[in-house]
Chains A and B, each alone.
Chain A
């Protein structure tokens, strides 16, 4: 059992209250972003923006309609980012399902950005020692940004006026998602995140194709780490092993120098 959020695109009115609540709860700075289209702003998530509401004008029935979808980390059940991270800076909390980023462990390699099938982790490009930025699911054990640990829903969900976001147990939300889909023919018969990339904590239902909200088409259902597990599992071993070898070599050469110096000393004396 882990937590999840159900995003119902048909209920989202694009008010961005979730986006603002996220910035405020997490003390994230604001920028003067580039113009996109008068709707979505900033244009995408960035080093200081964990979530954006993507608002799209979509062609439908010879006219247009508008749909809004909040995007953020999906908190995968088998996170590719975590398996790509040899420094263990990304770890999934088994109890809540939150995929948490630990900046003090991060070496800044950006493998997680390449690994993520949802293009979520962003980089603080403007900093000398940049870190990764992404939604933490308001889970921050022993830290000041924690909500889940206190039994609260994420800041975004708590501020949503229309019920487009619902927080709860993932299993139950999945059931509810299918109930809504089966009750109303307008929905596409699919829960985004049920199986994608092996399943995610955040689940989406919609009456327009998910690709409108920058979801890649043909996201596989096999957990991504499985593809890389066979060789990436050696990463810590190699990282540690290689390091050990180099350290050993370093100490070996150092020692030789020392011994040589000692010898020289002896000679001079």
Chain B
């Protein structure tokens, strides 16, 4: 999230799209209700009548997978009616920047599409700025870019965006999404009303936006929308991802993704990083705050290898395994597993047998494993894959180990919420039986591996040279304070915690495991504890910033890009809600939040005076190489500089926006994972979509084992419209079969107005909604909806397209 949960109270209009806070983020709903009490309006855009939609002021139903059409339509409405926030757009976005005149968009495809070995990709050469110098060699320097502040040049980003979205008029959008034109207009007008200096529009999204073959472009569309309305960096605004788990933000911060190192630095790749210098040359930008990336990465290596990380050995660069360039995401791994190329798997707090796409085939692929280690609270469908209903255990040779883990309340450590707040939590109760904390398990696992290497092994150096100083004499648990200090970063030698990542160096004098967290383990003298343990309820601003409650990365900043909350001269756009303010008389910045720009120039010599940076010298988007928010994305996404509507891989209709039916770069897989239904299939005429229920957490691995939670949602079901129910002859409570080209499930049917047919360009399209939390283990059991979902992914992230696929539904024989 750019903002945070408490900040929701400052919003005037919410656009909740592909998210259902009432069901999945009830604490977010608490703050939305507080805003509503003050007159805020809630728009919910969702195919289903969700619990959030029930509480909304407006609900726009749209066909699953047509979010870009909806959002581009909104962007078009804003530009056509001149409702964008002009001063903001000109000063803080790249609207005025001129793009290469060779850039083209034809037949739904951007210029630069190339195909090699059957795999499509874009060469983004024509998407670049018109500028002096070479953007790769010299960096994307803002001052070198050609601009037209009047925004009239046909090659400026604003005009290209305007032209691109002009095809998304109300009628066309309605034909794609199935949303009635008057509903589109009503919701567009309401959200566009936030393009004023004193109004804050808040975009709340979640998996309904991301889980598509164009999920990244869905997010891009939302960012463009918010930049146009001047809603980024202000209280009550932002693009706010509701993360799927209480600590999933923490796990992404620590690079639980194959293409990243901790703190969102790119991974080391064998193909292009022969030396650390290669990484510095190719992956450290010349401009923006990311030009400090080298310091972050060297400090990380220093934290990992300590004294063994020296300038001479490139700080242990060769100790780190390099990415082989293959698809190492969930779907890539399971494809390889099904081919027998993966011998072992550790499923640590993960339940792919229920949560993965095409999970029927996924469970079958696991039979190819020699061994499986499951670390979890309960026996999950994954750890029990070998005695799943459809399998013959006598034919499965996988050796399965189960390590019982402690739950978050049974151990101490930090949890990082969607608003980037790190909060240290203490242990409430001891874990039962032999269950151990994850830290304990990781510690013993590493020590066991190290012990194995002592009797020989190829290249043991990375293991032997790894810093592992977490023992406390006489204690069973590893030293969590030492781990935290290493993550926070310290000065090598004195081992003193650092207060800011500004102090990190690339010469080996500092060590830091995850630069964005620097400061979280630094002692706040007033609170008398480290930042992450603070619980002070002071909020001088009244904006709900609570700067001494936990720690918000980066730098305890509660609202990122907050330079944009004030005009170029430094006066808050909304004087009622000032985050930062240039005091012209005193000649300095007055800040309620930690400024997201260089507000002072540090003293030249020790003991000297720091000098304030005047407003005209500040940068609005510090992390972007050109220092501006991108209406037109010259880099960052690999599948197009502007968001474009494509149909989901499985769609009931032809794309009417362009000749390009689906995302040209979508990732697809082989063998068992290759099955995809034809467009407009007669056999699978309905659109299926998956969702969560409040009672169950993700795959239900924990909650379906808690009696009180199992009871409040005990059955797998499919939601269908009354009209479809009449057609197939079922009533609520009957058993039905839902089938896709990949498989079928049997479950209960719920007939109500949750789903209704949509009029998509004259064709009536029925939507079937199913929760995906059920499986064959635990107290509350049921069929897994993911047995139905396709294995196709977004080209940037490889997130599977869980949210839109083709299916059929019929009555079961037994009634």
A-side interface residues toward B, CB under 8 Å? 10-11, 13-17, 19-20, 23-24, 29-33, 35-39, 41-42, 55, 57, 59, 63-68, 161-163
> Can you give 19 A-B contacts (C-beta < 8 A)?
A13-B22, A13-B26, A16-B712, A23-B708, A30-B708, A32-B710, A32-B711, A32-B779, A36-B732, A37-B752, A38-B717, A41-B695, A42-B712, A64-B752, A64-B756, A65-B49, A68-B54, A161-B26, A161-B29
Is B26 a contact of A67 with CB atoms below 8 Å?
Answer: no
Q: Indicate whether A66 sits within 8 Å of B33 (C-beta atoms), given known contacts A30-B711, A32-B714.
A: no
Is B710 a contact of A30 with CB atoms below 8 Å?
Answer: yes
Q: Indicate whether A63 sits within 8 Å of B712 (C-beta atoms), given known contacts A15-B694, A38-B719.
A: no
Residues of chain A contacted by B52 (CB below 8 angstroms): 13
Q: Does B780 contact A (CB under 8 A)?
A: yes
> Closest CB-CB distance, B530 to chain A, in whole Å?
29
Is A29 a contact of B707 with CB atoms below 8 Å?
Answer: yes
Q: Does B748 contact A (CB under 8 A)?
A: yes
Is B779 a contact of A63 with CB atoms below 8 Å?
Answer: no
Q: How far is the CA of A41 from the CA of B33 in the complex (A)?
A: 25
Is B33 a contact of A37 with CB atoms below 8 Å?
Answer: no
Q: How far is the CA of A10 from the CA of B49 in the complex (A)?
A: 16
Q: Considering only CB atoms, which chain B residue lies closest to A161 in the complex?
A: B30
> Closest CB-CB distance, B20 to chain A, in whole Å?
10
Is A35 a contact of B715 with CB atoms below 8 Å?
Answer: yes
Q: Does B733 contact A (CB under 8 A)?
A: yes
Q: Considering only CB atoms, which chain B residue lies closest to A52 in the complex?
A: B712
Q: Indicate whether A13 sits within 8 Å of B51 (C-beta atoms), given known contacts A63-B753, A64-B752.
A: yes
Residues of chain A contacted by B628 (CB below 8 angstroms): none
Is B708 a contact of A67 with CB atoms below 8 Å?
Answer: no
Q: Indicate whether A15 sits within 8 Å of B22 (C-beta atoms), given known contacts A57-B754, A63-B753.
A: yes
Residues of chain B contacted by A30 (CB below 8 angstroms): 707-708, 710-711
Most buried by A among B22, B59, B694, B711: B711
Q: How far is the CA of A70 from the CA of B717 in the complex (A)?
A: 23
Partner of A24, one of B30, B51, B708, B719: B708
Q: Does B713 contact A (CB under 8 A)?
A: yes
Q: Indicate whether A65 sits within 8 Å of B54 (C-beta atoms), given known contacts A35-B748, A37-B752.
A: yes
Most buried by A among B54, B713, B756, B780: B54
> Closest CB-CB distance, A219 to chain B, in whole Å?
25
As a 0/1 sequence over residues 42 to 55 of chain B, the CB contacts with chain A under 8 angstroms (1 = contact) are 00000001111111
Q: Does B709 contact A (CB under 8 A)?
A: yes
Q: Considering only CB atoms, which chain A residue lies closest to B32 in the complex?
A: A162
Q: How far is the CA of A17 from the CA of B33 in the complex (A)?
A: 17
CB contact list, B1-35 vs A, under 8 A = 22-23, 26-27, 29-30, 33
Is B49 a contact of A64 with CB atoms below 8 Å?
Answer: yes
Q: How far is the CA of A13 from the CA of B694 in the complex (A)?
A: 10
Q: How large is the interface on B (under 10, 10 to 19, 20 to 34, 35 or more residues)?
A: 35 or more
Residues of chain A contacted by B715 (CB below 8 angstroms): 35, 38, 41
Is A16 a contact of B719 with CB atoms below 8 Å?
Answer: no
Q: Does B750 contact A (CB under 8 A)?
A: yes
> Closest CB-CB distance, B715 to chain A, in whole Å?
4
Q: Indicate whether A162 sits within 8 Å of B33 (C-beta atoms), given known contacts A32-B780, A64-B752, A65-B54.
A: yes
Q: How far is the CA of A15 from the CA of B23 in the complex (A)?
A: 7
Residues of chain B contacted by A16 (CB below 8 angstroms): 694-695, 712
Residues of chain A contacted by B30 (CB below 8 angstroms): 161-163
Main secondary structure of the interface of B (DSSP, over half): mixed
Q: How far is the CA of A20 from the CA of B708 in the complex (A)?
A: 6
Partner of B714, one of A41, A57, A67, A163: A41
Residues of chain B contacted by A38 (CB below 8 angstroms): 713, 715, 717, 719, 748, 750, 771
Q: How far is the CA of A228 from the CA of B54 in the complex (A)?
A: 42
B-side interface residues toward A, CB under 8 Å? 22-23, 26-27, 29-30, 33, 49-55, 59, 694-695, 707-715, 717, 719, 732-733, 748, 750, 752-754, 756, 771, 779-780
> Closest CB-CB distance, B174 to chain A, in whole Å?
16
Q: Considering only CB atoms, which chain B residue lies closest to A17 in the complex?
A: B26
Q: Indicate whether A35 sits within 8 Å of B717 (C-beta atoms), given known contacts A63-B59, A64-B752, A162-B29.
A: yes
Most buried by A among B22, B50, B756: B22
> Closest CB-CB distance, A154 to chain B, in whole Å?
17
Residues of chain B contacted by A65 (CB below 8 angstroms): 49, 53-54, 59
Q: Indicate whether A31 sits within 8 Å of B711 (C-beta atoms), given known contacts A17-B26, A162-B30.
A: yes
Residues of chain B contacted by A41 (CB below 8 angstroms): 695, 711-715
> Closest CB-CB distance, B773 to chain A, in whole Å?
12
Residues of chain B contacted by A29 (CB below 8 angstroms): 707
Q: How far is the CA of A205 from the CA of B567 in the complex (A)?
A: 45
Q: How far is the CA of A218 from the CA of B401 in the complex (A)?
A: 62
Please give 18 more A-B residue pairs, beta carbons under 8 A apart, in addition to A23-B711, A41-B711, A162-B33: A13-B23, A13-B51, A13-B52, A24-B708, A30-B710, A32-B711, A32-B780, A33-B711, A35-B715, A37-B752, A38-B717, A38-B719, A41-B714, A57-B49, A64-B753, A65-B53, A66-B54, A163-B33
Residues of chain B contacted by A161 (CB below 8 angstroms): 26-27, 29-30
Is B732 a contact of A37 with CB atoms below 8 Å?
Answer: yes
Is B756 a contact of A63 with CB atoms below 8 Å?
Answer: yes
Is A19 a contact of B29 with CB atoms below 8 Å?
Answer: no
Q: Which 7 A-B pairs have the closest CB atoms?
A: A64-B753, A66-B54, A30-B707, A13-B22, A38-B750, A30-B711, A57-B752
Q: How far is the CA of A33 from the CA of B33 in the complex (A)?
A: 32
Is B733 a contact of A35 with CB atoms below 8 Å?
Answer: yes
Q: How far is the CA of A205 from the CA of B694 in the complex (A)?
A: 24
Most buried by B among A11, A23, A37: A37
Residues of chain A contacted by B707 (CB below 8 angstroms): 29-30
Q: Considering only CB atoms, which chain A residue lies closest to B734 in the complex?
A: A35
Q: Considering only CB atoms, which chain A residue lies closest to B721 in the complex?
A: A64
Partner of B22, one of A14, A39, A57: A14
> Closest CB-CB distance, A74 to chain B, in whole Å?
22
Q: Indicate whether A15 sits within 8 Å of B26 (C-beta atoms), given known contacts A20-B708, A32-B710, A35-B733.
A: yes
Residues of chain A contacted by B59 (CB below 8 angstroms): 63, 65
> Closest CB-CB distance, A182 to chain B, in whole Å?
15
> Closest CB-CB distance, A11 to chain B, in whole Å?
6
Residues of chain B contacted by A57 (CB below 8 angstroms): 49, 752-754
Residues of chain A contacted by B771 (CB below 8 angstroms): 38
Is B33 a contact of A11 with CB atoms below 8 Å?
Answer: yes
Q: How far is the CA of A36 from the CA of B748 in the complex (A)?
A: 9
Q: Considering only CB atoms, which chain A residue lies closest to B771 in the complex?
A: A38
Residues of chain A contacted by B22 (CB below 8 angstroms): 13-15
Residues of chain A contacted by B54 (CB below 8 angstroms): 13-14, 65-68
> Closest CB-CB distance, A67 to chain B, in whole Å?
6
Is B55 a contact of A13 with CB atoms below 8 Å?
Answer: yes
> Closest CB-CB distance, A82 to chain B, in whole Å?
30
Partner of A13, one of B29, B709, B754, B756: B29
Q: How far is the CA of A11 from the CA of B753 in the complex (A)?
A: 21
Partner of B750, one of A13, A17, A37: A37
Partner of A59, one of B23, B26, B753: B753
Q: How far is the CA of A19 from the CA of B710 in the complex (A)?
A: 12
Residues of chain A contacted by B27 (CB below 8 angstroms): 161
Q: Indicate whether A42 sits within 8 Å of B711 (C-beta atoms), given known contacts A15-B26, A37-B752, A68-B51.
A: yes
Most buried by B among A24, A31, A35: A35
Most buried by B among A29, A39, A66: A66
